[in-house]
A and B are shown apart, each in its own frame.
Chain A
Amino acid sequence: MSEASRREVRAGLEPSLARLWRYALVLSRARDVADDLVQATCLRAIERADQFVPGTRMDRWLFAILRSIWLSEIRSRGIREGGGFVEPEEVLTTDGARETEMNITAPVALRAIEQLPEAQRETVLLVYGEGYTYAEAAAVLAVAVGTVMSRLATARAALAKLK
């Protein structure tokens, strides 16, 4: 493994940590599992730094690693039933302008998202949290674009029922 690729990957890890953790939390719905998943992702990324193609998006590469670990190793342990990622008191915010919008809607929205099936939660995160296009999300999830559309529509419909 070249020192240069390892350095490049290490440098790219930190800016992605929060987003990796959020992805892990949305998948696992458990904070301790999310911690472990991000840690395992970082370790694997460093170990396989040579597989990163310079000039491509490292965050997408890291997401793919995280997803792979989740699907192949962690999810199978049967720890999907986590404690949830919605802790209303943590979501509540008091910072002025955001207050009206977030205090009322964020906990409700997060609870609704949390209750969605894993595939829908992941799709919602990739498209609305990470800004993937439908086609990009479909490629990552290995499903048809129509499936992405359907998952997002179901998620929005679930939220609409809460209103």
Chain B
Amino acid sequence: MADEDAELVALIDSEHDEGSRGALLVRLATDERLRRRYDELRTAGAPIAGSLEELLRQAPLEWLRAAILVMDPFASRRPIRQQRTATPCGWHCDWAPGGRRSRMWCGGLWAAEASGGLAFGRRPIHEPLHQPDLQSFEPGRLAAGDRTL
């Protein structure tokens, strides 16, 4: 029965070669039970592809895209300004595009986190290796030490 099902399913999926297909079609034409089983299996499988298609629509694409942006192991080689342009901060600071001081702070933290991770929405993309210490942060020290900004 199982072998028979497998043959029928292969027929439904057009996987038989011409010889096997022809022989099976002859049997189907003469065997009512086999024909009923063929119909059962064909009908049962009809919604599979559509159901799997539905799963595609449930993929968290925005989250996954954000994950790709931060996971590039070579990202830290790019200028910080370029990184920030690609993925603006908005998580741990109040970076204002026109404010140089704020940009330094944001860029510094971003650089520190580039290998550790970010958050997108409420979901962590990676657990940060080092949580930024915002309480003891000294903007002046970072600005002086970071000439790329």
**A105, A107, A149: the one within 8 Å of B9 (CB):** A149
Which chain B residue shows the least CB distance to A131?
B49
Q: Please tell me if A18 contacts chain B, counting CB pairs below 8 Å.
A: yes
With both chains docked as a complex, state the minimum distance between the C-beta of A53 and any C-beta of chain B, in angstroms.
21
Which chain B residue shows the least CB distance to A47?
B73
Q: Please tell me if A6 contacts chain B, counting CB pairs below 8 Å.
A: yes
With both chains docked as a complex, state the minimum distance between the C-beta of B73 and any C-beta of chain A, in angstroms.
6
Q: Please tell me if A27 contacts chain B, counting CB pairs below 8 Å.
A: no
Known: A18-B61, A106-B51, A160-B41. A39 touches B13 (CB 8 A): no
Q: Please tell me if A146 contacts chain B, counting CB pairs below 8 Å.
A: yes
Q: Please tell me if B140 contacts chain A, counting CB pairs below 8 Å.
A: no
Q: Which one, B64-72, B89-97, B105-113, is touching chain A?
A: B64-72
Q: Please tell me if B133 contacts chain A, counting CB pairs below 8 Å.
A: no
Residue contact A21 to B6, C-beta cutoff 8 Å: no
Residue contact B6 to A22, C-beta cutoff 8 Å: no
Contact count band on B: 35 or more
With both chains docked as a complex, state the minimum distance between the C-beta of B48 and any C-beta of chain A, in angstroms.
5
Considering the complex, which residues of chain B in the window 45-76 have a beta carbon less than 8 Å from any beta carbon of chain A?
A: 45-61, 63-65, 67-68, 71-74
Identify the A interface with B (CB < 8 A): 6, 10, 13-14, 17-19, 21-22, 25-26, 31, 35, 38-39, 42-43, 46-47, 85, 90-91, 93, 98, 101-102, 105-110, 113, 124-125, 127-129, 133-134, 146, 149-150, 152-157, 159-160, 162-163
Interchain Cβ contacts under 8 Å between A and B, 11 examples: A17-B64, A22-B52, A102-B47, A113-B51, A127-B13, A129-B52, A129-B53, A156-B5, A159-B48, A162-B44, A163-B40
